[in-house]
Structure formats: C-alpha cells, structure tokens
Chain A
Amino acid sequence: MEEVLAPMPGNIIEVLVNVGDEVKEDDELLILEAMKMENPICAPADGTVKEIKVKEKDVVEADQLLVVIE
C-alpha cells in the first residue's frame, strides 16, 4: 500500500486517474497548483488506484493524503 501525500499546501486543479486504474511508477495522478506553478503529483510505484481522497478545486495542506495505491 502506497500513500501519496501533498508535498506542500496548494489547490488540486486536475485529477487524472480514477479508482481502479492501473498505474505505473511516475505516472501522473493529479496536478497540484502551488507557488503559482502546476505541479504533477506522480505515482511512487506500480499499482492500482484504490482511493482518491481529493477532488478538483480542493485546497490541501502539506502532508494531506491525496491518493492510495495498492
């Protein structure tokens, strides 16, 4: 089980995966807007998207859980 956390506070501007999607390491999962930049948040390992804890336009804090990959 891999938990993907927000590296810094920001806004979720795009969610690129759905629950059940197969992802490879480094696949982009969502886009976090922080410090005026749109930063891709990538899968830390191969797996299946088990849970998505955020939706577009959500404001997130640092270390907030974003996605769970199994």
Chain B
Amino acid sequence: MMEIRELTFSFRGQTEPVLKNISFTIPKGKITSVIGPNGSGKSTLFRCLTGQYKPQKGEVLLKGVPIGHYNGKKRARLLAMVFQKHPQLNGITVRELVAAGRTPYGNGRSVARINQQIIDEVLEQVDLKELEDRYINELSGGQQQRVWLAQALAQEPELILLDEPTAHLDIEYQLEMLRLLKKLNEVRGLTICLILHDLTQVIEISDQVIALKNGTINALGNPHDVLTKERIEELFHVKSEIFSTNNGQKLIHYLF
C-alpha cells in the first residue's frame, strides 16, 4: 500500500536528522503499529508519510506513486490521518465536522446526495448517528476522538494513519477505539498504520510493528518477534515480564 525508501528528514536549521535512512512497507489490508520512546520521530514520520513534511532524502510511495506527485484532493481520497491533538471547536455539530471529510470530493449538487449517504454510513460505523446533531464541545473525549476518526473515514481512504488515537482516553474508550479500528480493518479491509504507547494493545491489534529509536528503525516484524523483554528495555529503558494468558493473549508487565 505504502512504501518508504531510505527516508531522511531534518527540520530546517537542525543538522541532526530526526529520521535517518528509514525504509519499510505498510502492507495493504494490515494493521501496522509504530512504537518508540518520546522524541524518536514517530509523529514526524507520519507527517512525512502524508507529504506534509518533505524529506531531504528518500521517498514515500503511495500505491507505487511518490506522495508528492499526487494533488491534494487525489491524495486525500487515498490517505487520511487522525491527529493526536484537536482544535477546540464551539458550535459545530458532529455531522458538520464529519462532513468536512468529504472536502476532497467537492460539495456541488452532483455529489451532494452521495456525500450525505457516505456521512450517514460513517456515522453508523463509529456509532455516532444518534449524536450527529450535538455540538462537538458537548461530547466526551472518547466520543470526540470517534468524530475525528469518522471525518477521516468520510474521506473513504484506503490507508488511514492515526497518531496516538488512544491518548487521553480512559481504558474503556481506549478499547472501544481499538475494537473499532480492528473492525474497520476486518470488515472494510482498511489499511491502518497507528502510533501506540500501550505495548499490550500493540500485540493485540497489530499485524506488523515498527520500533523507532533515535530516528532509525530499531526493529520491524510481527509483534511477537519485535516485542521482547530485551527490546522493551533497549527502547524504553524499562524492565518487563511478558506473560501468556490461557486464551493465548500476551500481557506485558512493567517492573518498577
């Protein structure tokens, strides 16, 4: 779905690159998680993937085409991103915000009907249909996060990037969000790439894990291979134990 080749990026005026010679593939129809300590370059990497940041070296190919070759609308129909931080919005309804996701398709009369249909479908998918007329600022954090996800889904992308979608959510909403993503992946075949901090959740949801450290790929592979005690200590300087439950789930216990 997306291929990243020898990507190097540094911010203007800084000599040390934030990302160094990064190469990996986001496979179609799979869930890829990006992990790593704060400052390892995860969010910067995502902005390079969307074409928002231009790398000094290397390239990002979306469906075989360099990301910079797409015009904004075409790119937005293939690739959507949900950001970690959202602006405070007052007096804008859930439906109005989700409708902004249809921007790449225009809002003329010829597309008005299909736009409304897609918005209805997406609102159903994220279980927000009943709240569609509520103002965003009246919703809980978990509901707001779902609204932003719905906006990205309204773009009908083939690949969706999510920067810490469970940040600032309580455990119930974290699980609800991850279940929803898993369902979208399984039912719609949506390719998902997300940044996560909870490593147990990473094991639970991911097909592939990319571990970043100091702007380079420290490890890449399936979650069971990547997330070992040794690697967790190397990445996060934390000692841990990994347990398997009766139903085959893996749990990571951090040692104080």
- A, B from the same assembly: no
